[in-house]
Chains A and B, each alone.
Chain A
């Protein structure tokens, strides 16, 4: 009945769903799980503060992954979560917020997110639709446009959370050239080093997925982060058992590929 080679994967999936369910039930009590400080996300307030002092805008870039592609969209959604938080701050402190968008389908979602954030802060009139700038769906055309935007607008804070590829270094260097404080994160691990060397703060790998939960301090979302950690502990256990078994001359690979 079950496909050969996928039984172990099914077991892991069931375990993952169980962890999500257990932590979600616990989150209903309203107690916020404790997660470690992520320096980049803590620096968002300071970055917006810099924009207030200098009178320059804040730019939030959610990458070019869009919301249609299954895997890239996860990073875009994570970026939009952070955008929502930043939009509230910019609405509160009356700082212009500019968002370059890279996929036509994601524009309504970005516009709605920013508008709702402004509405939540009680200043919907401050929302400017022309600051959500859709450029194009193509990566390098979009990159050209955003680099030009950074050069012209000279943001005080340049935040990049989402799916980025080879354009990481281009955005970071251009932002650095205009003197912006830069906070960035992407789950594309091959390109994270560019953010690390060129930005003031960088989120590595799955810290981006935790970002939305972290900034909103939503108990339900934080519970998913906790469930991820529980699942990682299980994987770590399997790895340790595998290594010990290999040292003892046995292999657990046949068990994993059952």
Chain B
């Protein structure tokens, strides 16, 4: 028995990464398959963005700007869907556009899928998909200056001049809010859209959130959703649980596994350091 235990310990030690990955896999997959409901508090940054959208005047123009590569979409989707739904619930007009080539299709799939209830809003009048615009930050700068100069047709190939929503949508100054989704998309918006005086509120990747805190403090960002967690919080405010609530179960347990492993690692470190000191 003793021999097999030490053999098991040795096996775990030599396959350490695989053990860690296995634990993580289990604790992420199980809560997604069997969602666990745990009460969540809503952070100030999420509340600010929600309140801003709630106070938008009727008929306001809002841009939702998708800027993530496809791999990051699962992290963005809960927040993107929640805020898009909020915009559809309100009497505002929405322009969807992407400055990263992947996101135009993702936004289209989100809008035509089961996640969004468009509340009877009419395409071309209340909302429009402009598809992908090349140029990255330079493209955003050109678009913010004059929508019609650089973009001639929408996602479906229809000339944008024929769409009623685009008659008032001239440049960034026409907008009540610009919502970039992603990491560097938010930075581009701060540099290229912000100077036009357009309020910016974002759905950010988790890794970029600390870097956006200074902009929240100065008011250059009116609010921020922190990736999946922000999306889950927004769903709470909307009183409509969705993907965010499902994913938070897996995220929560994986965080606990990580903390437990870090503590275990430190215990092992201090125990072995103690042993080495004793031997000396």
Contacts and interface: CB of A to CB of B under 8 A. Distances in A.
Contact of A165 (B17, B137, B138, B183): B183
B210 interface: yes
Contact of A190 (B137, B195, B207): B207
Given A69-B136, A69-B137, A70-B138, A190 B69 contact: no
A21 interface: no
B104 to A, nearest CB: 15
B207 A191 contact: yes
Contact of A189 (B137, B195, B211): B211
A138 B205 CA distance: 18
A140 B205 CA distance: 16
B220 interface: no
A75 to B, nearest CB: 12
A239 B72 CA distance: 37
Nearest to B72: A166
Interface in A42-75: 69-71
Interface in B17-37: 17
B89 interface: no
Contacts of B210: 190
Contacts of B71: 139-140
Interface string A184-213: 000001110000000000000000000000
B137 A70 contact: yes
A144 B263 CA distance: 31
Given A69-B137, A70-B138, A165-B183, A140 B207 contact: no
A190 B138 contact: no
A165 B184 CA distance: 10
A10 to B, nearest CB: 14
A71 B137 contact: yes
Interface residues of B, number: 14
A165 B182 CA distance: 12
- Chain A binding surface, main DSSP class: loop
Contact of B69 (A5, A138, A177): A138
B20 to A, nearest CB: 11
Contacts of A140: 69, 71
Contacts of A71: 137
A139 B205 CA distance: 16
A66 to B, nearest CB: 10
Residue of B71, B205, B207, B208 contacting most chain A CB atoms (<10 Å): B207
Interface string A155-179: 0000000000110000000000100
A194 to B, nearest CB: 9
A165 B208 CA distance: 10
A141 B183 CA distance: 19
A170 to B, nearest CB: 12
A116 B138 CA distance: 32
A172 to B, nearest CB: 14
Given A139-B69, A140-B69, A166-B207, A190 B136 contact: no
Contacts of A69: 136-137
Interface in B148-163: none
Contacts of B136: 69
A71 B140 CA distance: 14
A165 B145 CA distance: 29
Nearest to B207: A190
A189 B195 CA distance: 23
A40 B195 CA distance: 37
Interface in A214-237: none
A257 to B, nearest CB: 11
Interface string B180-210: 0001000000000001000000000101101
Contact of B183 (A5, A70, A190): A190
Interface in B55-77: 69, 71-72
A209 B5 CA distance: 53
B27 to A, nearest CB: 19
Interface of A: 5, 69-71, 138-140, 165-166, 177, 189-191
22 contacts: A5-B195, A69-B136, A69-B137, A70-B137, A70-B138, A138-B69, A139-B69, A139-B71, A140-B69, A140-B71, A165-B183, A166-B72, A166-B205, A166-B207, A177-B17, A189-B211, A190-B183, A190-B207, A190-B208, A190-B210, A190-B211, A191-B207
Given A5-B195, A190-B208, 17 more contacts: A69-B137, A70-B137, A70-B138, A71-B137, A139-B69, A139-B71, A140-B69, A140-B71, A165-B183, A166-B72, A166-B205, A166-B207, A177-B17, A189-B211, A190-B183, A190-B210, A191-B207
Interface of B: 17, 69, 71-72, 136-138, 183, 195, 205, 207-208, 210-211
Top 9 closest pairs, chain A to chain B, by CB: A140-B71, A190-B207, A190-B211, A190-B208, A189-B211, A69-B136, A139-B69, A166-B207, A191-B207
